[in-house]
Amino acid sequence: MVTADEDAPLTQLASAQVSLANAQSKEAIYSLTTLSEQYGPSIALLNSTAAARIISGDHSGAMSNLSDALSLSGELAAPSPSLPDTYINMLSCLASTDAVKAQALLGKFSTEYPTHPYVKQMAMLDGAFDRVGAKFAV
């Protein structure tokens, strides 16, 4: 793809994903930020940039990207299909920085999206934890 057109947005997106897969989050952040500057921020780009920032350990930068994504989704007439991704990225970020806020956000997310696969998986894991914990209760 790079040989065909290095500056094409699809090539830049693919390059950012490959960079993330190879633990080169700074390159991915640069590519995604450049795309946002060239074409304007989108919820998907902001979520991808936030994920790259989380991987690099820049939680405050990630929260800034995610706040921007929430603002953009609030401006849309209909709820964005990327909104659950934004919540999940925020949960990942807050799990490392503020467990109380993470727990509150998880409650809100579970209420707003009760059938989302992430919520269902969390409920299943909570149930498994409770079952195993009951075996060790005194």
Q: Indicate the pLDDT class of residue 24, thresholds 50, 70 and 90.
A: confident
Tokens of 1: 């793809």
Predicted pLDDT of residue 45: 92
pTM given for the model: 0.81
Radius of gyration of the chain (CA): 18
Higher pLDDT, 67 or 82: 67
Q: Report which of residues 1 and 22 the model is more confident about.
A: 22
Start-to-end CA span in the chain (Å): 61
Residue 88 has pLDDT above 80, yes or no: yes
Cα–Cα–Cα angle for 88, 55, 129, rounded to 5 degrees = 50
Whether pLDDT at 96 is above 90: no
Q: Domains in the chain and their CATH numbers?
A: 9-101 (1.25.40)
